[in-house]
Structure 1
Amino acid sequence: MSDTPGAGTVGPVTTAGGPSASGADDPPRTGVIGARRARRIAGLGLLAAVLALAALSSVLIGARTLDPGTVWLALSHAAGDEADIIVNEIRLPRTALGLLAGISLGLGGALMQGHTRNPLGDPSILGVTFGAAFAVVLGIYFLGITDLRTQAWLAFAGAGVAALVVYLIGSVPGRGPTPITLALAGTAVSWLMYSLVSGIVLLDQATMDDFRFWRVGSLTGRDPSVIPQMIPFVAVGVVLALANARALNALALGEDTARALGFRVGRARATGLVAITLLTGVTVAACGPIAFVGLIVPHLARAMVGSDHRWLLPYSALLGAILLMAADVLGRFLAPPGELQVGVVLALLGAPFFVYVVRRRRLLTL
């Protein structure tokens, strides 16, 4: 049997029986792919185990270190003593908040870098961070809103409006948004919101005092009731992000190639932007702006599994949660008898990593 053009075969001619005419088999290649897949699955399992360890450390370690037996008793037979209050009312909500925020920021960063093709991009490029901050400041200054739960909803609304404005400004007539127009529009909107926020807080000392507490990204001092409110938004964002993986792989080859492969580029961009807005907006609303997670985590995940977003996204979600909770635990030791907020710790860790990423050009190739 001869190999005819357009038959869809590449390499040795194959027969109906399976092995090629040259005697080479496909199973070796299949075995390599299977081994790679097995390693990646094992990597996910390992990260899940590390995440469980980080969560356990978050519950055990603090101003008062608890042993596992005490924590188990507090969870199973709460008697209302000091240990029970520490575990059930302080550390468990803090750990849950860190888990949701880390997953959201890690995924949001991977999506943002994938859609903008910008290795130094993070979710704040869409303007969601300063959009949320602007909404909070307006609520404090004009309405006197100081309740953290109400501020969280204001921040989420502000993040969504800012992302929508960026999407509309960055949309090219007839083509929709492109990576360059999104980055430019997001930067412009972010700086505009930043200028307005700075102007308002400088006009009123009381607004500055209230805003300053929210502005420092933190897992402490947050109302535990925001956690069940976060879960639906995070769940929808995760589903949309994972559904966006195949389209991101196609977009990495160019928009024309993605269209030729049957993907609707506009729909793929919109899905990614909605996922980023949900994930980042709800986290900024609940915890305040937490920097560097969305920047660092995708690079770590890419170094582990490459640029295939089907694996990059779940790895980024787990690594984001691990990094955020590890930074939160580390902050409890750095300023005794108090602690450093997780946003400050991540800035201390993230700045050197940022320099490292810039200097290692190999990491800048997406």
Structure 2
Amino acid sequence: MLLISAIVLALSCAASIAIGSREVPLDQVWAAVTGGQVDQATRTAILDLRVTRTIIGLLVGAGLAVAGAIIQSVTRNPLADPGILGVTSGASFAVALAVAVLGVTNPLGYVWFAFLGAAATTVLVYFLGSGKGGPNPLRLTLAGMAFGAVLSGIIAAIRFSDPERFNALLVWESGSFQLRTLETTLPVAPFVVAGIVLALALGRSLNALALGDDLAHSLGSSVARTRILSIIAITLLAGGATAIAGPIAFVGLMVPHLARAMVGQDQRWIMGLSVLLGPSLVLVADVLGRVVLRPGELPVGIVTAFIGAPVLVALARRKKVSGL
């Protein structure tokens, strides 16, 4: 399964570089990538735009997918997702507040506020959705969606209070790879990579946690430590991905379910597959967004919403939605 997923990811990367809102013959794409003779406009379109977007898609897709896998595992909620649980809304709210109150305009400055917002929202929603018996899937979903809706309303109010100042945030808030550069992306990459490494290291502990708190304790696993490290990983992954591309929903919902269908319930395999399948989904969504409105573009966040909304409805209708 890992080999198949790796092949799919390689094909997705190739499509992301070869296909765009501007049609470029494949021989010119190959020449631009390999350093052959090609005009400067084409070279810029391929290397500075498409390759950059491909790198961004790899980071964002992996970050959101693995964050979703951790959230679903820790909360035992099959409907969990950084977007549905309000994590991305929290990151967006923190960024909007930074722009409005502190006058932050540098995209690199968004990063730290996105991390702070993601961390605060993750902790708050987790406690709001937990009862005496631990986190309740339905309560977590309702708490996350309600909290996310409230934050989205506040963000809209802040934005309309000073439209000129927030013009630069409009593209970011739509979940788009447009106007993104490596200069603002690469500084965030270490945080996303660190989150992935931490998530992979937590695989065994998350397997124990899935058996229940008491049994996890009896197996020698520290439940509190696992949850704290999981929150840190979610913050690094969802906060970093949102800081790079803005809020993109449903990636963290769909990918873990696909991975689970392929390899079962072992979190170590689910995390590994999510690292490969998440970028594939995001890159395919980005390519679709480039071609459906040529010569314009549809933000990747809108494409994933079109794909993910029916998946959410289908999952909600399943009898096993009460927990994993």
TM-score, normalised via structure 1 length: 0.79
Matches within 5 A, 1:271-282: 271-282=229-240
Q: Does 1:224 align with 2:182?
A: yes
Task: Measure, in 2, the Cα distance between the counterparts of 1:209 and 1:85.
Answer: 26
In 2, Cα distance between equivalents of 1:81 and 1:187: 47
Q: Distance in 2 between matches of 1:107 and 1:207?
A: 33
Q: Does the 8 Å contact 1:151/1:285 carry over to 2?
A: yes
**2:213 matched to 1:213?**
no
Question: How far apart, CA to CA, are the structure 2 residues paired with 1:285 and 1:125?
Answer: 17
Question: Which residue identity does 2:155 align to in structure 1?
Answer: V
| Residue 142 of structure 1, aligned match among 84, 101, 126 | 101
Unaligned runs of 5+ in 1: 1-42
Letter in 2 for 1:142: V
Q: Give 1:58 deviation, angstroms.
A: 0.4
Q: Is the 8 A contact 2:68 2:80 kept in 1?
A: yes
TM-superposition CA deviations, 1:128-160 (whole Å, max 9, x none): 312221222122223333332323443233323
Note the C-alpha offset of 1:164. 5.0
Match of 2:62 in 1: 103
Residue 131 of structure 1 corresponds to which residue in structure 2?
Answer: 90
Q: Is the 8 A contact 2:83 2:250 kept in 1?
A: no
Distance in 1 of aligned mates of 2:275 and 2:68: 9
CA shift for structure 1 position 259: 0.3
Verify: 1:116 aligned to 2:75, yes or no: yes
- CA 340–178 in structure 1, closer or farther in 2 if over 3 Å, else same: same
Aligned pair partner of 2:201 in 243, 258, 267: 243
Offset of residue 363 of structure 1: 6.9
Aligned residues: 321
> In the TM superposition, what is the alpha-carbon distance from 1:207 to its structure 2 partner?
4.5
1:137–1:207 contact (8 Å) kept in structure 2: no
Are residues 161 and 254 of structure 1, via their aligned partners in 2, closer, same or farther at CA, if it must alter by over 3 Å? Answer: closer
Distance 1:150 1:144 in 2: 10
Q: 3-state DSSP class of the match of 2:187?
A: helix
- Aligned partners of 1:333 and 1:71: how far apart in 2? 17
- Post-superposition shift, 1:77? 2.5
Contact residue 149 and residue 223 of structure 1 kept, 8 A: no
- Please name the residue that 2:43 is paired with: 84
- CA drift of 1:327 comes to 0.7
Alignment of 1:1-366 (within 5 A): 43-77=1-35, 81-124=40-83, 127-165=86-124, 178-180=134-136, 183=140, 189-361=147-319, 366=324
Question: How high is the sequence identity, in percent, across the aligned residues?
Answer: 45
Distance apart, 1:56 and its partner CA: 0.6
Greater CA deviation, 126-135 or 95-104? 126-135
Matched residue type, 1:154: F
- Any idea what the Cα deviations from partners look like across 1:310-357, whole Å, max 9, x if unmatched? 111111221111111011111112112212111111111111222222
Residue by residue over 1:151-199, the C-alpha shift from the partner in whole angstroms, topping out at 9 and shown as x without a partner, is 3443233323444555677789xx9x94249937656654553343233
Q: Which residue type is aligned with residue 331 of structure 1?
A: G
Corresponding letter in the other structure for 2:244:
A
Q: Is the 8 A contact 2:126 2:135 kept in 1?
A: no
Q: Which amino acid aligns with 2:82?
A: P
Which residue does the alignment assign to 1:34? Answer: none
Counterparts of 1:180 and 1:293 in 2: how far apart (Å)?
A: 22
Kept in 2, the 8 Å contact 1:148–1:223? The answer is no
Can you list the C-alpha shifts for 1:213-264, whole angstroms capped at 9, x where unaligned? 2210011111321232122111111111011111111111110000001100
- Whether the 8 Å CA contact 1:78–1:84 is kept in 2: the answer is no
CA separation of 1:360 and 1:162: change in aligned 2, threshold 3 A: closer
Q: Deviations over 1:54-81 (max 9, x none)?
A: 0011001113333454334323427771
Partner of 1:39: none
Distance across 2 between alignment mates of 1:336 and 1:87: 17
Give the aligned CA root-mean-square deviation in angstroms.
Answer: 2.7
Equivalent residue number for residue 4 of structure 1: none
Counterpart residue type for residue 204 of structure 2: R
Once residues 171 and 116 of structure 1 are traced to their aligned partners in structure 2, the CA distance between those partners, rounded to angstroms, is 9
**Do the aligned partners of residues 334 and 166 (structure 1) sit closer, same or farther apart at CA in structure 2, a change above 3 Å counting?**
same
Q: TM-score, normalised by structure 2?
A: 0.89
Residues 103-132 of structure 1: per-residue CA shift (max 9 Å, x gap):
111111111111101111112365431222
User: What amino acid is aligned across from residue 179 of structure 1 in structure 2?
Assistant: P
| Structure 2 portions without partners, runs of 5+ | none
- Partner-residue secondary structure (3-state), 1:205: coil
Structure-2 change in CA distance of 1:121 and 1:170 (3 Å): closer
